[in-house]
Amino acid sequence: MSKNIRNIELLCPARDYRAAVAAIDCGADALYIGASSFGARRAATNTSDDIARVVAYAHLFGVRVYVTLNTILYESELRDAEQLARELIDLGVDALIVQDMAYREMNLPVELHASTQVCNMTAEGAKFLEDSGFTRVILERALSLDEIRAIRRNTTVDLECFIHGAICVGHSGRCYLSRSQSSRSGNRGECSQPCRLTYDLATERGEKLIRGKHLLSVKDFDLSERIGDLIDAGVMSFKIEGRLKDDNYIKNVVSYYRRKIDEAIASRPDCRRSSVGRSEVEFTPNPRKSFSRDGGEYMFLGKRPGVASWLTPKAVGEYLGSVVATERRGFRLSGSARLNPGDGICFVSSEGIVGTNVNRVEGGIIEPNRMDGIKLGMEAYRNYDHQFTQSVERSRIRRAIDVVCSLRLDAEVVEVHYEDGDGDSVTLRREVVLQPSKSADKMRSVAEEQMAKSGDSIFRVTRVDVEGCEWFATAKLLAELRREALSLLASQRATRIMEHDIRHDSGEAQYPELRLTPQHNVVNSLARRFYERHGVQHIVEGLDTWRSTHGERVMESSYCIRREMGECLKQGSKLRDKLYLEHGRHRYLLEFDCARCRMNLIDCSQTEIIRQR
């Protein structure tokens, strides 16, 4: 295979072993999964035994397993973190996804991927990580296509980007909103998601411009129509968000993106998928049927309004129509959408949303569990499709590797040979006295049928060549040889050595900045040593260790409330007052960096949070 061929990877979340198997069977080329600790999703942890099981199953198909160790590490945790990392390496994981540069100082014999928590937004930053020994850089979700292209022009490191799922409104790794309101920190895997709460927008004079809206809640990501653009821009790994999602979400969304990526690869001769095996699912995937906050493309084509969901942070689902009539027990909708008992529906108005379930549908009248709050003109959405969910749950899903078989019959021997497309093969010989067959055609038919079966194995037999049909072999004998041969072939695949690109840090690269702020998250001696080796002269301890975040920047975002409400300062807004977000006792000054088109939140609350060390 030419060295110019690019491996394209569909990277999928795995909450646990069951979700991992579902993702693999539906077409994942790689998985990311949490270990027992130090992952940015504290609610998605797995034991080493479970991860070992995931690795064993994944590697049968050439699927890679990346473990998330992407929290910042306190000094007291360094020894345990290194011990866990080395244990995972011994289990055969293919890479560690990390935020804290302490891992770079541990000289770990494994690929290191720079988590999106490193806030990878610039070509200079990505080039530094490449020169410092990282195999992959995971891009911030707020980047535009042009910004991704600029990073690619400046680097050769593998680039990974998110293509589906929830978006952090703050730049990853630079958000302390949760930390400003409690002891829970996103950098420690315990984000309380305060960005999904309601806020008032107030002026410095106390005037309430907006009351009780979800002003920081942005829509989910959906770049399904941009796969080709991203491949051409130099991205090789496409990541689905969702390590806390259920199995049905995984099956549906992964199956959908498997098809989309395969379509993009098919029209690009220089690309191939990075794992093997074809997936068969008995349902038609549709990501709109799974949890989604009205997915959009966020800043993919540049900074723009219309990316937030101020009315609700919840999933509204697929649009059905508007309410055109109401009765005592039910209502009618415009449009032709069909609802079924058990469906979940919600109604959106300027006041918010109303949710309920469908009990009965008859003669165009939809009878919900309750009619409270449902009014004429409301727009209706289905956020739970009962029939679709059942079809996913009941669907048979299988992933199998294509193999070819050749069978040779002779007077005193039966020889069977199975071979996959990766160079693995098995040959079995059974010395046995055969009698002449009464019908060569019938013997060929029986042999082809027996040797083409694959049962519950990981293989799909695509061709059977038979030689020596003038000799008779029993179906029982052929079945025994087939089962034994396919079992040996699976064992052979299980021992395949995965190729890795393990790099080392020469220490020669210079970090793009000489001074690190509290937002650079340096909280231990190893991370400090890393940056000092790379030319940093002054380091302020990370904000997560401070008793209070008062007066500090607790969020940096490419999203802008002014832009969203049509009051962009660059567009000549006459609203020149200082603006604040308020939620209960928490208050944040909105600072607008128009030169870089960013919005910062400065904590103005008089609160003190005891740090957890």
Q: pLDDT digits over 299-334, tens only? A: 999 999 999 989 888 888 888 999 999 988 899 999
User: The CATH number of 6-167+219-275+283-287 is which of 3.30.420.40, 3.20.20.70, 3.60.150.10, 3.30.460.80?
Assistant: 3.20.20.70
Residue 368, CB half-sphere, CA atoms under 13 Å: how many? 23
Provide the angle, in degrees to the nearest 10, between the axes of the packed helices 48-60 and 475-494. Answer: 120
Q: Is the pLDDT of residue 608 over 80?
A: no
CATH architecture, domain 318-394: Beta Barrel (2.40)
Specify burial of residue 336 (Cβ count, 10 A radius: 0-12, 13-18, 19+).
Answer: exposed
Q: pLDDT digits over 385-402, tens only? A: 999 999 999 999 999 999
What is the model's pLDDT at position 45?
Answer: 85
Query: Mean per-residue pLDDT for 232-244?
Result: 95
For 476, residues 6+ apart whose C-beta sits below 8 A from its C-beta are none
Using a pLDDT cut of 70, give the percent of the chain over it. 98
Beta bridge partners of 462: none
Look at residues 42, 38, 172, 144 and name the one whose alpha carbon lies nearest to residue 97: 38
Q: Do residues 194 and 178 touch, judged by C-beta distance below 8 A? A: yes
Residue found by looking up tokens 């019959």 in the block: 409
R_g over Cα of the chain = 28
Element spanning 390, H or E:
helix 386-394
Query: Mean per-residue pLDDT for 257-273?
Result: 97
Q: pLDDT digits over 539-568, tens only? A: 999 999 999 999 999 999 999 999 999 999
Instruction: Indicate if the alpha-carbon torsion angle 208, 209, 215, 216 is positive or negative.
Output: negative
Relative to beta strand 95-98, strand 271-273 is: unpaired
Q: Is the pLDDT of residue 342 over 60?
A: yes
Helix (H, G, I), strand (E, B) or coil at 14: strand
Among 139-143, 181-185, 589-593, which stretch is predicted with the lowest mean pLDDT?
181-185
* This prediction's pTM: 0.94
Q: Where exactly are the structural domains of the chain? A: 6-167+219-275+283-287, 175-216+546-613, 318-394, 402-494
Q: How far apart are CA 43 and CA 37, in angstroms?
A: 10
Higher pLDDT, 103 or 354: 103
DSSP 29: S
What is the model's pLDDT at position 3?
Answer: 62
Q: Is the pLDDT of residue 62 over 50?
A: yes
Report the Cα–Cα distance between both ends of the chain, in Å, rounded. Answer: 51
What is the model's pLDDT at position 607?
Answer: 60
Residue found by looking up tokens 């099981």 in the block: 53
CATH topology of domain 402-494: Nucleotidyltransferase; domain 5 (3.30.420)
